[in-house]
């Protein structure tokens, strides 16, 4: 039945600590190298600015720099760079999305609506499109819980024939004649 099985003796107690010591030594050498390779704790903006300087007409470089500016809460710079990326590639949905978010953060709601509308036309992710549609509504609101809607958004169609009030517990749609 077990004709091909081999018997291996168990390790002696003196070998077990040596195995653990080797394992811990390997971990101690590998982990810092892996963390340094990932660049954790480094600011990516100087590297991305250098990439933009090397290729000022590169949409991916402009997009990455704009997103980094946005995440660093440098909204005006993000907006400028992302608008440049949108000029080069009007079908770039990610640049349009972040340009709209940056414009909203600085209070330019007209530019935010324009950029967000562009994302609705060219964006590929349905879930993000739903979020953008909620942002493009007539306004976000908070309603008392007695109404049955806690938070949500108010939407209106472009031609003004339908208005929707949606929330976590349900929604209401009114069609105007």
Q: Are 52 and 61 in contact (CB under 8 A)?
A: yes
- Predicted confidence at residue 145, as pLDDT, reads 40
Model pTM score: 0.57
Give the count of beta carbons closer than 10 Å to the beta carbon of residue 89.
Answer: 15
Question: Following CA atoms 95, 122, 170, 163 in sequence, which dihedral angle do they give, to the nearest 10 degrees?
Answer: 110
- Predicted confidence at residue 77, as pLDDT, reads 96
CATH superfamily, with its number, for domain 45-135: Tetratricopeptide repeat domain (1.25.40.10)
- Predicted confidence at residue 68, as pLDDT, reads 95
Which residue ranges does the chain devote to CATH 1.25.40.10?
A: 45-135
pLDDT tens digits, 13-44 = 555 566 666 766 657 666 565 555 555 557 89
Q: Are 120 and 134 in contact (CB under 8 A)?
A: no
pLDDT tens digits, 64-118 = 999 999 999 999 999 999 999 999 999 999 999 999 999 989 988 888 888 988 8
- Predicted confidence at residue 116, as pLDDT, reads 87
- Predicted confidence at residue 41, as pLDDT, reads 56
pLDDT tens digits, 135-171 = 776 344 444 444 444 444 545 555 555 656 555 555 6
Beta bridge pairs of residue 142: 151
Q: Are 140 and 127 in contact (CB under 8 A)?
A: no
Cα–Cα distance, 170 to 155 (Å, whole number) = 14
- Predicted confidence at residue 134, as pLDDT, reads 79
Q: What is the DSSP secondary structure assignment for residue 142, as one 8-state letter? A: E
Locate the DSSP E strands across the chain: 139-142, 151-156, 162-167, 170-175
- Predicted confidence at residue 74, as pLDDT, reads 95
């Amino acid at each position: 039945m077990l004709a091909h099985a081999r018997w291996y003796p168990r390790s002696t107690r003196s070998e077990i600590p040596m195995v653990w010591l080797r394992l811990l030594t390997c971990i101690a050498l590998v982990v810092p190298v892996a963390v340094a390779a990932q660049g954790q704790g480094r600011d990516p903006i100087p590297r991305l600015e250098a990439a933009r300087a090397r290729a000022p007409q590169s949409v991916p470089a402009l997009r990455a720099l704009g997103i980094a500016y946005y995440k660093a809460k440098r909204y005006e710079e993000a907006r400028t760079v992302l608008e440049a990326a949108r000029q080069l590639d009007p079908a770039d949905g990610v640049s349009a999305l972040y340009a709209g978010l940056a414009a909203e953060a600085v209070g330019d709601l007209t530019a935010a609506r324009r950029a967000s509308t562009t994302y609705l036309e060219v964006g590929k992710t349905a879930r993000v499109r739903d979020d953008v549609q909620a942002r493009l509504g007539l306004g976000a609101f908070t309603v008392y819980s007695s109404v049955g809607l806690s938070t949500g958004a108010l939407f209106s169609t472009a031609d003004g024939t339908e208005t929707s009030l949606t929330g976590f517990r349900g929604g209401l749609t009114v069609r105007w004649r």
